[in-house]
Chains A and B, each alone.
Chain A
């Protein structure tokens, strides 16, 4: 059951521009940044890692209005619930599909982006590790907020406003891992990410249930 849901959601994400959209987004930001702040390799090397984190956070928001609302509106979620699928299971499947559609593409795009920003190899390693640990949390956060705002007018913009402050801990720990804090900050990224991944099916499922009444 959950496998079929993941495959369906992933297919929909791919049709909606998943995979290449986050990839292009990250590369676009990484190539624009040197034009904006100048080609000083030292400056780029110091700020580039944090920039990649901001880009990753924004990339997780790109499909936020397509995560829940179309399925809720079309009655797909109702049909799944009638078949005995829990709302939590539905959200878990959507979480896996959403992460697959933007997490791995970001990890791949971060490599050429790091070259554009002239990051050294140890920074690249920390960015990749941090993104691998942090993107599941970002995916969970985007999905949770999408579930909370599904059915509201202008939910896409509202969802963006809600996610950004909540994503600050992951951003701080993720960017912090690039400076002195190192591996300790990565552990905190992993902890925040885990918390969000656990919270998303529970709270998001409750939001979907409440939204039906």
Chain B
């Protein structure tokens, strides 16, 4: 895991004919964390989706060495299954066991919900469940889109502790948030809309 690295050079993203941001550079090595800040709609989520490989960049390159896990607004949990079963499906794909799922649930304080169907979880509980998938995945690079949304103070602190542990183990965290997060950042990027008008 100590070889994880994320290098972004001259990244630009264009959605719906509009240039969201351009000329973004970032270099994160093992154990580092960065925060993408900026107002709503500026392209924070799009940037994470580009890094995750879900969108192709308009310009620039993203080089990631290490496995990537993404937590975004879509929970991607099967509503009718129990929390443990639906996270277990993803753990299987990630080559992890149910023990890692249980550990991640305990880290975020939702171990008692393991046998509850996902459909009756609250917003904050569902957010924590989606974060637990990333924690259990064992991926080197965590991409967290608004990780503190819907979390209460205790959960936010629990998440910060897990992030620090991930960094201590040589992992990389790239988080996008419009509000402060409870952990230290080695780099902070504030996205701003490019000045020039584009067509």
Please indicate whether A and B come from the same complex rather than being unrelated chains. yes
Query: Closest CB-CB distance, A127 to chain B, in whole Å?
Result: 35
Collect the chain B residues with CB atoms within 8 Å of residue A76's CB.
76
Tell me the B residues contacting A by CB distance below 8 Å: 15, 49, 52-56, 68-70, 72-78, 80, 89-90, 92-94, 133
Interface of A is mostly: helix
A15 and B80 contacting across the interface, CB-CB below 8 Å:
yes
Query: Closest CB-CB distance, A211 to chain B, in whole Å?
Result: 11
What is the CA–CA distance of A85 and B68 in the complex, to the nearest angstrom? Answer: 13
Collect the chain B residues with CB atoms within 8 Å of residue A212's CB.
54-55
Contact of B93 among A15, A73, A75, A83 (CB under 8 A): A83
Is A36's CB within 8 Å of the partner chain B? no
A4 and B92 contacting across the interface, CB-CB below 8 Å:
yes
Which residue of chain A has its CB nearest to the CB of B14?
A213
Collect the chain A residues with CB atoms within 8 Å of residue B54's CB.
78, 81-82, 212
Query: Closest CB-CB distance, A159 to chain B, in whole Å?
Result: 22
Interface of B is mostly: loop
A78 and B68 contacting across the interface, CB-CB below 8 Å:
no
Collect the chain B residues with CB atoms within 8 Å of residue A1's CB.
93
A82 and B89 contacting across the interface, CB-CB below 8 Å:
no
B55 and A82 contacting across the interface, CB-CB below 8 Å:
no
Which residue of chain A has its CB nearest to the CB of B94?
A83
What is the CA–CA distance of A78 and B94 in the complex, to the nearest angstrom? Answer: 15
Which residue of chain A has its CB nearest to the CB of B73?
A75
A4 and B89 contacting across the interface, CB-CB below 8 Å:
yes
B68 and A82 contacting across the interface, CB-CB below 8 Å:
yes
Residues of chain A from 34 to 85 with CB closer than 8 A to chain B in the complex:
73-76, 78-83, 85
B56 and A213 contacting across the interface, CB-CB below 8 Å:
yes
Query: Closest CB-CB distance, A109 to chain B, in whole Å?
Result: 26
Collect the chain B residues with CB atoms within 8 Å of residue A85's CB.
93
Query: Closest CB-CB distance, B171 to chain A, in whole Å?
Result: 16
Collect the chain B residues with CB atoms within 8 Å of residue A83's CB.
93-94
Contact of B89 among A8, A15, A75 (CB under 8 A): A8
B93 and A12 contacting across the interface, CB-CB below 8 Å:
no
Query: Closest CB-CB distance, A4 to chain B, in whole Å?
Result: 5
Assess A12 versus B78: contact at CB under 8 Å? Given A82-B52, A82-B70, A213-B55: yes
Q: A1-B93, A74-B76, A74-B77 are in contact. List 6 more A-B contacts (CB 8 A).
A: A75-B74, A75-B76, A78-B72, A79-B90, A82-B53, A83-B94
A selection of 10 A-B contacts at a CB cut-off of 8 Å is A1-B93, A4-B92, A4-B93, A15-B80, A78-B49, A78-B54, A79-B76, A81-B54, A83-B94, A85-B93
